[in-house]
Structure 1
Amino acid sequence: MSSLQLDDFVAGWVGGAGAVIVGHPLDTVKARLQAGHGYGSTVNCVLTVYRNEGVAGFFKGMSFPLVSIAVYNSVVFGVFSNIQRLISQHRYGNSNHPPALIDLALASMVAGTFSVGIGGPVDLVKIRLQMQTQPLVEANLDLKHRATGFSVQTAYRGPVHCVGTILRQEGLAGLYRGSSAMLLRDVPGYCLYFIPYTVLCGWITPEECLSPSPFSVWLAGGIAGAISWGTATPMDVVKSRLQADGIYLNKYRGVIDCISQSYHNEGLKVFFRGLAVNTVRGFPMSAAMFLGYELSLRALREQAEKNP
């Protein structure tokens, strides 16, 4: 693998770290709304978190995704870029040939599939840490169903303890709870992420420019993120519920059962819970991700040219 191909993984790591810092507070609000603990509305959720936990409540569980999601995005961007180049090399005989929409779609689907391998456990731990703020009584859970070893206040002391507890109680498969829903979210989701970004960058960038400006990258990345996260919300709700399930008791038997119970108890609107937060959060988070990716990629390539 050439250094040029490795650059995509390094740049993806930088972009992922920036996205976590920008998007985690709204991600916490989104996770709480989707898990269904009676917050009612986005505004009420924000006020409740702030009143009960202060500003620190919005950053609960961020240390783990700050490290791991950076690696996760490194894989996603690295796989997408390298698969895209392989397709261009195979179809056009030139790895730098501009990709067609079908090329982008195929590379996006492969990246989305790879993302679940790393992203499933990362999302699970992040959501478990975000959701363990209520005492069992406040969460209206029957104490007799509480798993052995859980405290009354919180289930996990931190990311490492969370991973250890899940492995001990549920095995390796427990780390991939909700992965089927994540796969159904991410495969089409990344198509609606990379394709709009590439198309919008092409539209915004003047023909005489060899590469898009930072503003073009920021704008195209933000719009692509809003589109992708907005349309992914229904399956994101299912994924979040499956991953939050099991902190104190198991409620769902799988994707279909989660969809069925959620619809039966709360109606069709439940699958659009967090839609506004997802869409709003998607813009700054993805704008930061693509901007960090493109700028660091350019810097790495310029450095490689200076030091061949």
Structure 2
Amino acid sequence: MQTSNSFRLDDFIAGWIGGASSVVVGHPLDTVKVMGFFKGLSFPLATITVYNSVVFGFFSNTQRLISKYRYGDGWHPCGMLDLTVASMLTGLVSVGVGAPVDLVKIRLQMQMQTQTVLAENLHLAGSVSDGTNIPLRSVDIPGQRLYRGPIHCISSILQTEGLQGLYRGAGAMMLRDIPGYTLYFIPYSVFCNLLKPDATSSPHPCSIWLAGGLAGSISWVTATPADVVKSRMQADSQRQRKYRGILHCIIHSYKTEGAQVFFRGASVNAIRGFPMCATMFLTYELSLQFFRSLQDKENIFVVKE
């Protein structure tokens, strides 16, 4: 699990496990949030696990690199400035992995919503004046079905918009994730320290769960305005380009829908963020404890030999 004194692979593995557990907990709420999007777990499980592996692995290893550089010891406790730098760098790196994933989710969501509206319209069109409905066994309009699935969506975007098309909205995502992860990891660390019985002991699993849930709700609520802009930028396909850039998207959204548009979904994000992030942090920390206990046993075995 360990390659050097400061870089560890177990953080990435624990992040992967934490991401998987959060998908299982948050998938029903996520399905409600995006109106029935993703009936199965395969795509979110495949993407969120990798995403969280990168996020947690990078954050933890960056903390140790900063501590090693500043204090000469990778395991020296990080100060608030150290945590802030590590969190902001993590937010920046997360965009490289998360922007294409979010783009595909948004595009597939849009397609499903369009098909739902078409199905409802065709159902109404099949009704006659006496109230009798003509049953429609299937609704399939080839011209409206742009993507057959996530892989086909990625391929289509690359063909029509190029590699930069996959990073449509990445600038807005940076505005969301850099402060978002700062308000994710720092509150978690603060709450964990406050909930510990003393400074030398490790936080109880219940404390980890509570701290992770509170940090997740705080992060998601404060990130909602930037998330709204990001989603609109990513939904803005090349064929029907609506926004010229981030600033134009903000101004246009404000003029047409008012300031409240930037807080649309904030309550859902807060409710959804608590159980997902609570489970994610708890599983991550417990996985780390397990991996490091194995490492300690190996070290003891070597010393005895």
Q: TM-score, normalised by structure 1?
A: 0.83
CA distance in 2, matches of 1:2, 1:121: 31
- Does the CA contact (< 8 Å) of 1:84 and 1:107 recur in 2? yes
Question: What is the count of residue pairs matched by the alignment?
Answer: 274
Matched residue, 1:23: 26
Pairing partner for 1:121 from 70, 85, 100? 100
Pairing partner for 2:11 from 1, 5, 8? 8
1:141-290 matches, within 5 Å, as: 151-207=142-198, 210-246=201-237, 249-290=240-281
Matched residue, 1:109: 88
- Does the CA contact (< 8 Å) of 1:26 and 1:58 recur in 2? no
1:65-106 Cα deviation digits (max 9, x unpaired)? 311221111111111111111111222222222211111000
Code of the residue aligned with 2:293 in structure 1: it is E
1:200-233 Cα deviation digits (max 9, x unpaired)? 0011011176321211111000000000000000
Classify 1:22/1:298 alpha carbon distance in 2 versus 1 (closer, same or farther; 3 Å).
Answer: same
Pairing partner for 1:297 from 283, 288, 302? 288
- Does the CA contact (< 8 Å) of 2:110 and 2:235 recur in 1? yes
Code of the residue aligned with 1:92 in structure 2: it is Y
CA distance in 2, matches of 1:127, 1:23: 17
Per chain length, whose mean CA-contact separation is higher, i.e. which structure has more relative contact order (CA < 8 Å, sep 6+)? Answer: 1
CA distance in 1, matches of 2:73, 2:116: 62
Code of the residue aligned with 1:130 in structure 2: it is Q
- Does the CA contact (< 8 Å) of 1:124 and 1:177 recur in 2? yes
CA distance in 2, matches of 1:244, 1:136: 16
> How much does 1:153 deviate?
4.3
Structure 1 position 88 matched with structure 2 position 90: no
CA distance in 2, matches of 1:275, 1:212: 29
- Does the CA contact (< 8 Å) of 1:112 and 1:183 recur in 2? yes
> How much does 1:250 deviate?
2.5
Classify 1:82/1:219 alpha carbon distance in 2 versus 1 (closer, same or farther; 3 Å).
Answer: same
CA distance in 2, matches of 1:102, 1:89: 14
Code of the residue aligned with 2:266 in structure 1: it is L
CA distance in 2, matches of 1:102, 1:248: 44
- Does the CA contact (< 8 Å) of 1:132 and 1:247 recur in 2? no
CA distance in 2, matches of 1:262, 1:190: 25
> How much does 1:155 deviate?
2.2
> How much does 1:247 deviate?
8.2
CA distance in 2, matches of 1:19, 1:177: 26
Pairing partner for 1:76 from 55, 58, 64? 55
Classify 1:73/1:202 alpha carbon distance in 2 versus 1 (closer, same or farther; 3 Å).
Answer: same
Greater mean alpha carbon deviation, residues 267-276 or residues 78-87? 78-87
Query: Which sections of structure 1, spanning at least 5 residues, go unmatched?
Result: 33-48, 50-56, 140-149
Code of the residue aligned with 2:203 in structure 1: it is P
Larger Rg: 2
- Does the CA contact (< 8 Å) of 2:196 and 2:203 recur in 1? yes
1:167-216 Cα deviation digits (max 9, x unpaired)? 11111111101100000100001010000000100110111763212111
CA distance in 1, matches of 2:235, 2:40: 13
CA distance in 1, matches of 2:60, 2:199: 24
Code of the residue aligned with 1:205 in structure 2: it is K
1:35-54 matches, within 5 Å, as: 49=35
Secondary structure at 1:253's aligned position in 2? Answer: coil
1:14-73 Cα deviation digits (max 9, x unpaired)? 11111222223433444x4xxxxxxxxxxxxxxxx4xxxxxxx25347422311221111
